[in-house]
Structure formats: structure tokens, C-alpha cells
Amino acid sequence: MPSISEKGKMMPASPIRKLVPFAEEAKRKGRKVYHLNIGQPDIPTPEPALKAIREMDLEVVAYSHSAGNESYRRKLAAYYTSIGIPVDHHQLLITTGGSEAILFAMMTCFNPGEEVITPEPFYANYNGFAAAAGVKINPITSVIENGFALPPVSEIEKKIGPSTKGIIICNPNNPTGYLYSKEELYQLRDIVNKYDLYLFSDEVYREFCYDGKSHFSAMQLEGIEENVIMLDSVSKRYSSCGSRIGALVTRNSEVINTALKFAQARLSPPSFGQLAAEASLDTPPEYFEKVYDEYIHRRDFLVEALNKMPGVDCPVPGGAFYAIARLPVDDSDAFSQWLLSDFEYKNATVMLAPASGFYATPGLGKQEVRIAYVLKIDDLREAMKCLEVALKEYPGRTV
Amino acid sequence: MPSISEKGKMMPASPIRKLVPFAEEAKRKGRKVYHLNIGQPDIPTPEPALKAIREMDLEVVAYSHSAGNESYRRKLAAYYTSIGIPVDHHQLLITTGGSEAILFAMMTCFNPGEEVITPEPFYANYNGFAAAAGVKINPITSVIENGFALPPVSEIEKKIGPSTKGIIICNPNNPTGYLYSKEELYQLRDIVNKYDLYLFSDEVYREFCYDGKSHFSAMQLEGIEENVIMLDSVSKRYSSCGSRIGALVTRNSEVINTALKFAQARLSPPSFGQLAAEASLDTPPEYFEKVYDEYIHRRDFLVEALNKMPGVDCPVPGGAFYAIARLPVDDSDAFSQWLLSDFEYKNATVMLAPASGFYATPGLGKQEVRIAYVLKIDDLREAMKCLEVALKEYPGRTV
């Protein structure tokens, strides 16, 4: 039997999905599982998107343009322009989810063996795309004590070596919920400029910024226009994860032209998803106000509930819909699996994402979990009750 | 400005899509362009698929399982079993088009620098996925004189070296339309067995085999069950290219488990497309009979029309919906571009795919084009008239 590739062997399983078989087993036993492991909101997809699908009149479901339908690209460019990111439709490619935008950006910009710096904990699926592109992720550790702020510039500069080709940030951050300030982005700009790096800015949670703070996009940084690649998605903005529609946005035309070659190889992004995504841009503002209020409500409830539990520490996230909590357990991987395999409270349990998988440095995140507050308050309440009981019962508790 | 990756620079533009800007320019001039360049059928998508989309009742368009919806996987496995390819739903992953199945297979099985042998001319987009995976395509030339039959085993064996890790075939073949015989597949099996290689079998045109010949799948080869990976798609079978739904099928569980990690990184295949694809499996047999008759009709018309033109040679393809024709021109790239930029007949022209891009050996295919017979007879007739006139007027004609 021929062997599996080295990158396939080395690639870590997704911390979000690796416990899925245990969750399936728990469900087979008849248990209710509260899914706090994955950023799959229970928020309804906007009606204009659903309507566009129900009323679609395609007779032949054909390939679209490899860069995405021009009508959608124009409308999306107008949307970005309206929120202070002026681009035109030649400066973006529609991708199959934000995932493909990350993959294309890595394939286009980095050679195998080159390095990309990213603050850890980071979105674990960067590992998969880095493995695919043969790129090494060089982590710079952010810490729970200051709510996972950007590490000091001096620390970032220490990481830069001859193989360093770029920096990836996710803002607001998944998994920490941290919202980078304008000042932090200016600091990144200076590093990017000084060392001529790419700056990948994953902004799929852009519209989820709380506490009166506004989002500052890497696309708004002057002087590094050719270095910045924005990665985006409709998954979270319109609760439309299954549509698999994202975008790669940059003012660097060489990057667009090269990424388009990878896009042409896979022919086109999904046609139905593009219909939904284009129609989503007509979602009335009331939808977002309601969603926004709901997430703040959930966040506040979650963070308060967590911090009330003995030994639990959870900083208040400034954006997105994730929080990292430190739990009084020996090993959050073991605890998360135990929750699914050995625990139940009123015939229910909780699925968490162990944070170790969001760190590249071995040993970090061992007491932390990522919690996605994507469930309605009543469900969150039940989930928190479960978690509280579980923390008392867990044999590996440390408090 | 940071540099573009080497693989991005080296990656050839798609021969199917690189002339798109010239076609767009021709259309801006008000010209009708007959698209024979791309395998985008004008055949209607089956009604059950369209109905499933129009009647979809999702309220939250959520991620699906990374391997695809279980209901679809089970039904698809039953379909394969019914056509003589017994597999169960754990032996396949639903992918975003056949494209992603190729990418996952390459990432899973091959290390950068390893080689894969494939008969040329070959589906040009293999180049893109090979570039992405850092894999080298080692071509073995098939020739128009025998209708692009599999080259002799002795020739294939000469290509095998220490870096050779697999063979890719497309059966029936895109771009040649050649249908491999059972005997040819047994020959491949012996090579695969002898050198312990992977055999990737791209069978997306499986249902399009003509002249009373039936399809023999690589999955039916005994003794190399762990070596074979079948790549499939709903794009052609159900004229559903825009759904972006394919499959990676193998009895090698290590390959499935590793490919699943790449699948988890990109979260899930498109939800709407999966609804359409699952419903497509209920398409009544009459649909396929009609489509089948239509393609045979088109093929016969096309091949006859081409061979009547002075200096044109077009072997009769045994499957799929492509033909490679040799034209009396100096350079089919220049000719194809000239057709779009400088030629018109009754305010119309033809878009072809120059065959050079389907060969890896430099200089081959210079007089050949790939023609997709995906248009209705009336359009094909007009397109052939255009081509006939163009071949007379083209300044670089050789006859």
C-alpha cells in the first residue's frame, strides 16, 4: 500500500471537529449536546437570501466566472466602499468560503518552507491551509491576562527571520474575541513596511464589534496597500455558513492575477451560494441591529456565568462571538472528551473546543477552552448549568 | 512589495479560461460567441434538483458534516453500488466539485517533489492542483493517430522512477473523449501493483460512453483496492456544474481519514449544492436517455462536419463530450485568439480551447484544439460554419 503524504500525516485534526465522533456517540445515547464548539450561529439566515434561493430560476446550473459573478463582485465592492474600504470589483475574487480565500492567499504569496507569523491562540484551520501550502506558522503568544491583546512589537520583531514572509491576523479575533485597536494596526503596519511582509487580515467578524468600539480594517492602512490581503466570508455576517461564499480582497493586482489562476483551476465558486450572498447585501439594517443586540446579550450572560464559577476566568471579548475561558481542569482536551463520553446532567452535556488546538506552541492552552456563544440564551443557560456541574464532578478538576 | 510564490508564477493559465478576456471583448463588440471551449453543457439540470432548491426549507444555512451530509453519502454509495461499484458511505467524502476531490487526493497521497504519471493530453486543471501540492506531472504522450489510446505499458514503465507515486487517468477522457478498455485498465492495474502506486481515476464522464461500449471503473480492479481513488462529480452527469459537488471515493481508509482532515479545515461542502445533488439521484431514467441520444447526435454531427473541412482531422471520441481536432493552422493558440479578436462571420465567432495547454511536453498540441460538443445542433451547425470560414481566412493557415 503506498504511503500517505507527510503533510497529511503531520496535519493536526481540527480542535473544532476532532471530538465529533464522541458527540455523535453521546447523541446516539439520547443525550442533548449543546454545541459551543463551533461558530455555527442559530441566527436565521436573512430572508432576502432564502428568498433568492427559493425563487431562483436557473434552468442550467452552470459554472460562473472563476472570480465570481460580476454582478455580485460589483455589489460586494460597493458594500466595502460604503463601510470605508474603497475597492472595485477587479480587486476581489469570490471564493468558496473564507476557507478558500485563505488557501489561495497562502498558495499565491508563500513558498513551501517560508514562515508566517500569527498571534496565538489562532483560528486552528490556518494549520490546515498552511500544511497544504507547506508554510510554517510561527506563533507569537498572546495571553489571557490582558484579554489576548496584540503582543508588543518588540516580541513580534524577534520572530522575524530570513524565511518570514507575512503576518496573519484575525480581527475581531477567532478564537479570543479580541478586537485590535487602530494603534495596534498601525504598529503592524510599521513592521509590515519595514520587513516588506504580506499582511493577511481575516475580517469575517468585522460587523461584530461591541462596547461602542468600531472596526478598523487593515485595508485602511495607508502605505502598505500592496501588502494587505483581506479575507472575508458571508458565513457569519449573514449566518450563512453552508453557502460557502467568501472573498479575497486586495489592491495588489499581481496577487489577484495569480490567485485567479488557482481559482480557474477549480473553475468557479458555488452558484447557489452566490445567489444567496448577493441577495444578502439587501438585508435590512433592522436584521443586524437585532442580531447585534442578541450577541451582546449572549456574551454578557456567558461571561458573567463563567466568571461566577469557582476557578474559571473568562476575559470579556470585544468582538466576534467567541470567548476563551480558563477552566480549573488538568487538561481541557481530556475534560472536553469526558464531557461527551462520561458526563450528563439532566440527560444533556456540552461540547467545547479545547484551546490547545488553537496554539502552535506545545503545552499552551491546556486549561483553556474556546466557547462559541452561538446559542440562544435559554440554551446557553442550560449549557452553563451543565458546565458548572461538570466542573464539580470532573475527576481531573484542579480547584 | 513582497514577491509572489514560485508555484503561482510557474502555474500555467487554464487553456479553457485564458482566452476569456478576448471573448468578453468580442461580446462587447456585439458578437455572438459559440462556447466550445468549456465543458459547460446547455442541457437542463434535472427537475428534481431544481425542485429541491426551490422548495428548500432551511432557516439557518448551516455547515454540513465535513464529509458531506450523511443522507447524501448513503444515497450516493447506494448509487455506486447499483452500477457495480460496491462502496459504503464511509468510503467517500463529498467535495466541493470534482476539483476539490483532485486537490484532496493529491495533498493526501503525494509529497512535494513526487511525480505522477498521466497520459497527455490531460485535463489541464490537473496542473493547478499539482502546482498547489508541489507535485510534478510526468506525461506519457498519447497520439491522435490511434485516437489517443493508452500508450503501451512498456512506455509507461520507462517513465517510472524513484519519485513516481501515482498514475492519474480520466476515463472517459477529457480532453480526448477516449474510453479506456477493460484490457487497458488491467494493464494499468499490473503496473500499479508492481510499483505500489496510487491510481487516481477521474470518472466524471462515466455515464457518457457511446457505441455500445460500457464503462469499466478502476474501482472494479481486483487486487489494488487500497491503491485506487475514484474522483467524481455531479457537474456533467446532471448538468449541474455550478452546484460544485463532487466526491472522493476509495476503499483505503487511511486515505479517507487523512483527506477528511483537509476537508475539516475547509469546514464543509456547499449546503445548497448537496441538496440539489442528493435530489438528482432521483432523476428518472428518461432524462439520461434523452441526454445520451442528444450527445451522440451532437458528436456525430461535429465529427462529420470537422472531418469534411480540408486539412482537419478529428478521431471519433468514444465517450465524454469532447473531441480533439487537428487543424491546418500554424499555431492553435494564435488561431483561437484570432477567432475572438479578428474574425467574425455573420457577426459571430467560435471560442475553442487550444490543445497546447493540455500537454505537459512543450511543443505538442500546437495544431490541435479541444472542442466541447455541449451546444445544441443548431448552434453547433453555426459554429462549424464559422470555423470553416475562419480556417479559410486565417493568415496562418497551413493548407
Q: What is the largest CA-CA distance in chain A?
A: 62
pLDDT at B13 (0 to 100) = 80
* pLDDT tens-digit map of A166-179: 999 999 999 999 99
pLDDT bracket for residue B212 (50, 70, 90)? very high
What is the ipTM score, two decimals? 0.95
B227–A contact, CB cutoff 8 A: yes
Whether B261 and A11 lie within 8 Å, measured CB to CB: yes
Whether B132 and A132 lie within 8 Å, measured CB to CB: yes
Average pLDDT over residues A252-268: 96
A268–B contact, CB cutoff 8 A: yes
CB pairs under 8 A between A and B: 263
CB atoms within 10 A of CB A116: 25
Q: Which three cell numbers stand for residue A275?
A: 445567489
* pLDDT tens-digit map of B161-202: 999 999 999 999 999 999 999 999 999 999 999 999 999 999
- Which phi and psi angles does A202 have, rounded to 5°? -85, 110
pLDDT at A211 (0 to 100) = 93
Residue type for B345, please?
Answer: Y
* Whole-number Å distance between alpha carbons of B239 and B222: 31
Question: Which residues are registered as beta bridge partners of A45?
Answer: none
* Whole-number Å distance between alpha carbons of B244 and A66: 12
**Virtual torsion, Cα B82, B88, B93, B99, nearest 10 deg:** -30
How long is chain A? 399
pLDDT at B351 (0 to 100) = 97
- Whole-number average pLDDT of chain A: 96
Is the per-residue pLDDT at A184 higher than 90?
yes
Query: What percent of chain A clears pLDDT 70, i.e. is strictly above it?
Result: 100
Question: Which residues are registered as beta bridge partners of B140?
Answer: B119
Question: How far apart are the CA of A383 and the nearest CA of chain B, in angstroms?
Answer: 20
The model carries a pTM of: 0.95
- Among residues A251, A314, A321, which one has the least CA distance to residue A35? A321
pLDDT bracket for residue B289 (50, 70, 90)? very high
Question: Which residues are registered as beta bridge partners of B228?
Answer: B199
pLDDT at B116 (0 to 100) = 98
Question: How far apart are the CA of B151 and the nearest CA of chain A, in angstroms?
Answer: 24
* Whole-number Å distance between alpha carbons of A189 and B289: 61
Which domains can be identified in chain A, with CATH numbers? 6-44+286-393 (3.90.1150.10), 62-280 (3.40.640.10)
B28–A contact, CB cutoff 8 A: no
B101–A contact, CB cutoff 8 A: no
Contacts of A125 in chain B (CB under 8 A): 264-267
pLDDT at A39 (0 to 100) = 86
Question: How far apart are the CA of B310 and the nearest CA of chain A, in angstroms?
Answer: 34
- Whole-number average pLDDT of chain B: 96
